[in-house]
């Protein structure tokens, strides 16, 4: 498996994510600038956290027009695995690759804290390494993290089991305690908590590794790309 991590102007978790993937989980990962228009030879593409384009207008609202987004849409449409973390999740909703939107936290404050979560669907490419209903703790760090979907979209999300992570103690007002979802096809994940910040005991915990190990499981047989 080989991963691409997209660096948008204002990303600040791209190198942490590359470290978590490559040095902790053994998944080779390249940093790709958002100004690039092509994306070849990857099994998974990550949109990292940060403040792309300074969060102007709305988080992710400008980043969705980045040159790389066309290649990411093509990759996702072909079934490639795409993961958006925090600002990456915001970009994926703005780009229409995931349903719903991320609104300001109900407190209107930026929240930086450990968030206890429940893994409510382990039958995904991003969560198969966890146990059913496993309790994990990942850090959150966002101002616009309150997930919203209109009633019809929410009904569809729940009916199709697209919710992967729920907050145990809803910190931001997210509807149905939603912390992470997939698209209908199951190959695109968006999550507000940061798994890449929870991969080493020294930094407070290793619960985040499961997301990356799950993808390793899901891409077994894709080793040809790693060799390249």
Ligand X SMILES: NC(=O)CC[C@H](N)C(=O)O
For residue 113, the cross-strand partners are 140
126: its two tokens: 């991003």
Which residues are catalytic, by number? 86, 194, 196
Residue given tokens 């959150």 in the structure block: 140
Closest CA to 212 of 199, 223, 222: 199
- The residue from 129, 142, 197, 209 that contacts ligand X (CB under 6 A) is 142
Report which residue's Cβ sits closest to ligand X: 49
How far from chain centre, in Å, is Cα 114? 17
Window 70 to 99, contacts with ligand X (CB under 6 A): 86-87
Asked if 171 interacts with ligand X (CB under 6 A), we say: no
Asked if 59 interacts with ligand X (CB under 6 A), we say: yes
Query: Within 39-150, where are the H helices?
Result: 69-77, 87-94
Binding window for ligand X (CB under 6 A); candidates: 15-23, 51-59, 131-139, 212-220: 51-59
Binding window for ligand X (CB under 6 A); candidates: 47-55, 68-76, 121-129, 151-159: 47-55
Q: How many CB atoms lie within 10 A of CB 10?
A: 17
Q: How many CB atoms lie within 10 A of CB 195?
A: 25
53: its two tokens: 């384009």
For the CB of residue 93, give the shortest distance to ligand X in the complex, in Å. 12
For the CB of residue 11, give the shortest distance to ligand X in the complex, in Å. 8
For the CB of residue 142, give the shortest distance to ligand X in the complex, in Å. 4
Q: How many CB atoms lie within 10 A of CB 163?
A: 19
Closest CA to 27 of 190, 197, 165, 220: 220
Q: How many CB atoms lie within 10 A of CB 58?
A: 15
Window 193 to 222, contacts with ligand X (CB under 6 A): none
For the CB of residue 227, give the shortest distance to ligand X in the complex, in Å. 33
Binding window for ligand X (CB under 6 A); candidates: 50-58, 63-71, 128-136, 148-156: 50-58
Binding window for ligand X (CB under 6 A); candidates: 33-41, 43-51, 155-163, 216-224: 43-51
- The residue from 145, 186, 190, 210 that contacts ligand X (CB under 6 A) is 145
How far from chain centre, in Å, is Cα 173? 19
Q: Which residues bind ligand X (CB under 6 A)?
A: 49-51, 55, 59, 86-87, 110, 141-145
């Amino acid at each position: 498996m080989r991963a691409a991590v997209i660096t948008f102007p204002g990303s600040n978790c791209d190198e942490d994510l590359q470290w978590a993937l490559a040095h902790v989980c053994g998944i080779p990962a390249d940093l790709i600038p958002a100004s690039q228009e092509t994306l070849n030879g990857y099994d998974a593409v990550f949109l990292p956290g940060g403040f792309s384009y300074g969060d102007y207008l709305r988080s992710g609202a400008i980043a969705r027009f980045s040159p790389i987004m066309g290649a990411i849409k093509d990759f996702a449409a072909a079934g490639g695995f795409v993961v958006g973390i925090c600002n990456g999740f915001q970009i994926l909703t703005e780009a229409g690759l995931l349903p719903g939107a991320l609104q300001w936290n109900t407190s209107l404050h930026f929240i930086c804290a450990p968030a206890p979560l429940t893994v409510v669907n382990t039958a995904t490419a991003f969560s198969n390494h966890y146990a059913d209903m496993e309790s994990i703790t990942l850090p959150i760090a966002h101002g616009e993290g309150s997930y919203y979907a209109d009633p019809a979209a929410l009904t569809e999300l729940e009916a199709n089991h697209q919710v992967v992570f729920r907050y145990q103690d809803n910190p931001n007002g997210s509807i149905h305690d939603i912390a992470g979802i997939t698209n209908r096809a199951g190959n695109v994940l968006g999550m507000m908590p940061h798994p890449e910040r929870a991969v080493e005991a020294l930094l407070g915990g290793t619960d985040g590794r499961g997301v990356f190990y799950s993808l390793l499981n899901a891409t077994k047989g894709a080793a040809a790309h790693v060799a390249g």
